[in-house]
Chains A and B, each alone.
Chain A
């Protein structure tokens, strides 16, 4: 490896009992959160808008001062360190390139602040631009580039000084679908190559699922769940998590004694006690649900619910069937081509699934 080079060992960031309250607003924008971000990890802060994820990011980078709690970088408290001394890279939603500087000057900006010698700067800038496939574009002005290219420049600028942590604030939301996907791959590749810790903020669950090592789900200023995408998808802990991450059929029945769950006019088998209370919802992911034309075709041991088909759409590799259950709740089933599907709207069907494919969650 030549010297100097981009890349560093990722840093560890810990959020300890961190809160931010604007005035006397209730609830606080960020409400006593704890999060241990491991070195080199790709963690996503996911939540609806206004859930506190961007405020959290702004506190990490140093734009917003916490009301209470602290932020630790490799064990040292940096809560009161000004932004320009934290040495974090950040990528913003609308690129935020300096319009009066060329692409190369933009990327060189953090190096000049760090008094890196000219020769090393030139090499690092070249490397950073190569890294994002923009070699040879250094003399362009930001406004001469497409949105995707501008965001690549922003990425190069944020990693060129080898920060231990790269913070990304909804970096893809201003791009169209196709660009978004290609830049997703780019970001993932950067993470693998550079070994930095990535903290990614988004409200897009697909983005979070495909990119992250772990996801922290925000709701009303709190972190309501942390886990790998698969953990959170398959074993959501709350109804909010289940609804926010992927689609769900949510049955609002009652957990009766031992192993019986009551919904509408049915009794279902359950294998887990959940949180033990009666008020638990039962979640079934659409791809786990099957439909049958009558009770006889339902495999033994399955849980079942009668429903009316309201719509059937064909997506090439699968069918999607919209259902209206008998308690007036709605849901859907996603069926691979080849699995028995339903006739058109209006058909009465029995939706069924295996008990191990369901999850009990607290309300």
Chain B
């Protein structure tokens, strides 16, 4: 037979089909320019300005950084923040691991239920959930009543780090369960059985085989939660007290009340550095283990294979049930609360009424807040979708060696703690006169929402057969026509879900909106926040329910559209 005398047909591979012509394509940068410019102006330059401030305000030197560790107060705040974040991620992991494991063992129906339960917190706005915990943990609240039989009924919870920790753990639990589940579902269920057949007792086989293989998910989840917990502002502000303040609260006070941007900037930098270090470490750790997983054999879904070797133990059922209750509890509190007729946050309510809804939709400050929120959300969704979609198309046209770094830059707003973004934007917008305007909030939200659009559209573009535009050309379609008739319809679901994510991100965002608020520019989450901290106004319970609806309707809609389009399929 033929002697194979292969010479490379094209530089990279011989058979990518007619992919695209090998012409130079500077247009990639053209598509990226608006998004990159927006991030630089809204984010990079202000951040750089803040870094400069941290070294120069009020006087040049390392004074701000030195005082982090020497003024006696800040160091305690930093220590407390780190400890709370660590405890939250450890306890969260202990709760999440068995739950995720149970998800892999469950049958299809049960698994769908467990997945839905994990996602419920995402559909319940941040403020609604914190409000629910405030109701549950208050003096004489449900949690205290449960603790009474064990003699802990008079332990004060609200205003303590315990309340902060409980609420943060619940709020962050999905971020632990999901990566763990994703790692576990890659594990071949037969491996533990194989370990047992090689002489290891069940528990040791689990410890030596399953645990290491699921470790990447654990590391990824814990580091993400640790990082997110560090920058938490709303929860400690609502459920804690200033005596046990966390770093974000101190940044808030320094920046907004003392206008000490040097000091706040130094704290923000500390937060950013810790975040980057933790994420880099986790990537190294998880990355190595991912290689182990790959070497461990064909990754496969654990559908029914695990069932034979691992029956669902009773303790696992109990644990899973408890975690499920913790996950849905706040949502279950918020909705009945909104129908209460009481002036207090008493739960469960004694009498029912619609008065808080009436107030929500009639009182000027609440209706203004709702309209502001919708306005900000829609503008953010539109701008972020346009910029993000163009950027995703630009990314796909870049040379591979540029793609990674540019993508990383576009996604960077996701890993920077919100409190730092808020601080950066606040200090910059103060000089530009954008503070206290909806435009300021829209611009800042656009930067936050951009990554979600880029991710959604990129995923869709990558799932598309790259030859199809060329195929269309061979059938007579001009480049414009090929884009309109082939590329756009195939990528549209990604664009839509990006838009929904951008809208929801903006809708639920509190910290930046809090920093930029002014009498004419108060969004619904800010109004809710103020209704607890400034005056006690039970209208928040109706607002919380409204938020659940506002968030879940677009998501459900997107899913229905997605399912319809899914039938049309990408492949």
Chain A residues proximal to chain B, CB less than 8 Å: 22-23, 25, 27, 29, 48-52, 54-55, 58, 61-65, 82-85, 87-90, 92-94, 96, 98-100, 109-110, 112-114, 141-143, 157-158, 161, 167, 169, 219-221, 240, 243-244, 247
Chain B residues proximal to chain A, CB less than 8 Å: 1-11, 14-15, 17-23, 465, 467-468, 470-479, 481-482, 485-486, 489-490, 565, 567-571
A99–B474 contact, CB under 8 A?
Answer: no
Q: Least Cβ distance of A189 to chain B in Å?
A: 22
A29–B569 contact, CB under 8 A?
Answer: no
Q: Least Cβ distance of B21 to chain A in Å?
A: 6
Interface centre among A89, A99, A142, by most B CB within 10 Å?
A99
B465–A221 contact, CB under 8 A?
Answer: no
Give the distance in Å from the alpha carbon of A54 to the alpha carbon of B15 in the complex: 8
Q: Least Cβ distance of B125 to chain A in Å?
A: 35
Q: Which of chain B's residues has its CB closest to A54's CB? A: B9
Q: Least Cβ distance of B561 to chain A in Å?
A: 13
23 interchain pairs, CB-CB under 8 A: A27-B7, A29-B9, A50-B7, A51-B6, A54-B14, A61-B18, A63-B473, A64-B18, A65-B21, A82-B478, A84-B473, A84-B475, A84-B479, A88-B474, A92-B471, A93-B15, A96-B468, A99-B568, A99-B571, A100-B489, A100-B490, A114-B476, A142-B569
A247–B3 contact, CB under 8 A?
Answer: no
A243–B470 contact, CB under 8 A?
Answer: no
B1–A63 contact, CB under 8 A?
Answer: no
Q: Given A25-B11, A48-B4, A100-B490, 11 other A-B contacts at CB below 8 A?
A: A49-B4, A54-B9, A54-B14, A55-B10, A84-B472, A93-B17, A94-B465, A109-B475, A113-B475, A240-B2, A243-B2
Q: Which of chain B's residues has its CB closest to A105's CB? A: B485
Give the distance in Å from the alpha carbon of A141 to the alpha carbon of B567 in the complex: 9
A96 with B467: in contact, given A63-B18, A141-B569, A243-B2 (CB under 8 Å)? yes
Interface centre among B5, B475, B565, by most A CB within 10 Å?
B475
Give the distance in Å from the alpha carbon of A93 to the alpha carbon of B470 in the complex: 13
Interface centre among A62, A82, A96, A157, by most B CB within 10 Å?
A96
A48–B5 contact, CB under 8 A?
Answer: yes
Q: Which of chain A's residues has its CB closest to B489's CB? A: A100
B9–A49 contact, CB under 8 A?
Answer: yes
B9–A109 contact, CB under 8 A?
Answer: no
A90–B474 contact, CB under 8 A?
Answer: yes
Complex interface: chain B residues within 8 A of A23 (CB): 11
Give the distance in Å from the alpha carbon of A92 to the alpha carbon of B568 in the complex: 21
A247 with B1: in contact, given A88-B474, A169-B17 (CB under 8 Å)? yes
A109 with B7: in contact, given A50-B14, A84-B478 (CB under 8 Å)? no
B476–A48 contact, CB under 8 A?
Answer: no
Q: Which of chain A's residues has its CB closest to B22's CB? A: A22
Complex interface: chain B residues within 8 A of A50 (CB): 6-9, 14
Q: Least Cβ distance of A129 to chain B in Å?
A: 16
A29–B10 contact, CB under 8 A?
Answer: yes
B470–A83 contact, CB under 8 A?
Answer: yes
Q: Least Cβ distance of A61 to chain B in Å?
A: 6
Give the distance in Å from the alpha carbon of A62 to the alpha carbon of B474 in the complex: 8
A22 with B10: in contact, given A113-B476, A243-B2 (CB under 8 Å)? yes
Give the distance in Å from the alpha carbon of A50 to the alpha carbon of B197 in the complex: 48
A110–B468 contact, CB under 8 A?
Answer: no
A96–B465 contact, CB under 8 A?
Answer: yes
Give the distance in Å from the alpha carbon of A167 to the alpha carbon of B470 in the complex: 14
Complex interface: chain B residues within 8 A of A113 (CB): 475-478, 481
Across chains A and B, which 7 residue pairs bring their CB atoms closest together, nearest first? A63-B18, A110-B475, A50-B6, A113-B476, A83-B473, A90-B474, A244-B2
Complex interface: chain A residues within 8 A of B3 (CB): 240, 243
Complex interface: chain A residues within 8 A of B5 (CB): 48, 51, 219-220, 240
Q: Least Cβ distance of B178 to chain A in Å?
A: 28
A64–B473 contact, CB under 8 A?
Answer: no
Complex interface: chain A residues within 8 A of B570 (CB): 99
B6–A49 contact, CB under 8 A?
Answer: yes
A84–B477 contact, CB under 8 A?
Answer: yes
Q: Least Cβ distance of A47 to chain B in Å?
A: 9
Give the distance in Å from the alpha carbon of A110 to the alpha carbon of B475 in the complex: 5
A63 with B470: in contact, given A55-B9, A99-B490, A243-B1 (CB under 8 Å)? yes
Q: Least Cβ distance of A17 to chain B in Å?
A: 19
Complex interface: chain A residues within 8 A of B476 (CB): 84-85, 87, 110, 113-114, 161
A90–B471 contact, CB under 8 A?
Answer: yes
B9–A141 contact, CB under 8 A?
Answer: no
Q: Least Cβ distance of A204 to chain B in Å?
A: 11
B14–A64 contact, CB under 8 A?
Answer: no
Complex interface: chain A residues within 8 A of B475 (CB): 84, 89, 109-110, 113, 157-158, 161
Q: Which of chain B's residues has its CB closest to A65's CB? A: B21
Complex interface: chain B residues within 8 A of A247 (CB): 1
Give the distance in Å from the alpha carbon of A3 to the alpha carbon of B471 in the complex: 27
Interface centre among A29, A100, A112, A141, by most B CB within 10 Å?
A100
Give the distance in Å from the alpha carbon of A59 to the alpha carbon of B10 in the complex: 13
A48–B21 contact, CB under 8 A?
Answer: no
Complex interface: chain B residues within 8 A of A92 (CB): 17-18, 467, 471
Q: Which of chain B's residues has its CB closest to A219's CB? A: B5
Q: Least Cβ distance of A113 to chain B in Å?
A: 4
Give the distance in Å from the alpha carbon of A29 to the alpha carbon of B13 in the complex: 12
A99 with B22: in contact, given A48-B2, A50-B14, A55-B10 (CB under 8 Å)? no
Complex interface: chain A residues within 8 A of B485 (CB): 109, 112
B11–A109 contact, CB under 8 A?
Answer: no
Q: Least Cβ distance of A150 to chain B in Å?
A: 11
B569–A65 contact, CB under 8 A?
Answer: no
Q: Least Cβ distance of B546 to chain A in Å?
A: 36
Give the distance in Å from the alpha carbon of A316 to the alpha carbon of B22 in the complex: 51
A99–B569 contact, CB under 8 A?
Answer: yes
Complex interface: chain B residues within 8 A of A221 (CB): 7
Contact of A100 among B20, B21, B568 (CB under 8 A): B568
Complex interface: chain B residues within 8 A of A98 (CB): 468, 471-472, 486, 490
Complex interface: chain A residues within 8 A of B9 (CB): 29, 49-52, 54-55
Q: Least Cβ distance of A343 to chain B in Å?
A: 27
Q: Least Cβ distance of B240 to chain A in Å?
A: 51
Give the distance in Å from the alpha carbon of A34 to the alpha carbon of B3 in the complex: 24
A143 with B4: in contact, given A64-B18, A93-B17, A98-B468 (CB under 8 Å)? no
A58 with B18: in contact, given A99-B571, A143-B571 (CB under 8 Å)? yes
Complex interface: chain A residues within 8 A of B21 (CB): 63-65
Q: Least Cβ distance of B501 to chain A in Å?
A: 22
Complex interface: chain B residues within 8 A of A100 (CB): 486, 489-490, 565, 568-569
B23–A65 contact, CB under 8 A?
Answer: yes
A109–B477 contact, CB under 8 A?
Answer: yes
Q: Which of chain B's residues has its CB closest to A248's CB? A: B1
Q: Least Cβ distance of B2 to chain A in Å?
A: 4
B2–A83 contact, CB under 8 A?
Answer: no
A49–B15 contact, CB under 8 A?
Answer: yes
Give the distance in Å from the alpha carbon of A140 to the alpha carbon of B11 in the complex: 39
Give the distance in Å from the alpha carbon of A88 to the alpha carbon of B471 in the complex: 11
A83–B474 contact, CB under 8 A?
Answer: yes
Complex interface: chain A residues within 8 A of B468 (CB): 96, 98
B477–A62 contact, CB under 8 A?
Answer: no
Q: Least Cβ distance of B382 to chain A in Å?
A: 24
Give the distance in Å from the alpha carbon of A88 to the alpha carbon of B22 in the complex: 21
Give the distance in Å from the alpha carbon of A62 to the alpha carbon of B479 in the complex: 13
Q: Least Cβ distance of B487 to chain A in Å?
A: 10
Complex interface: chain B residues within 8 A of A84 (CB): 472-479, 481-482
A89 with B474: in contact, given A99-B569, A141-B568 (CB under 8 Å)? yes
Complex interface: chain A residues within 8 A of B568 (CB): 99-100, 141
Give the distance in Å from the alpha carbon of A65 to the alpha carbon of B3 in the complex: 29
Give the distance in Å from the alpha carbon of A61 to the alpha carbon of B476 in the complex: 11
Complex interface: chain B residues within 8 A of A96 (CB): 17, 465, 467-468, 471
Interface centre among B17, B481, B482, B490, by most A CB within 10 Å?
B17
Q: Least Cβ distance of A164 to chain B in Å?
A: 13
Complex interface: chain B residues within 8 A of A161 (CB): 475-476
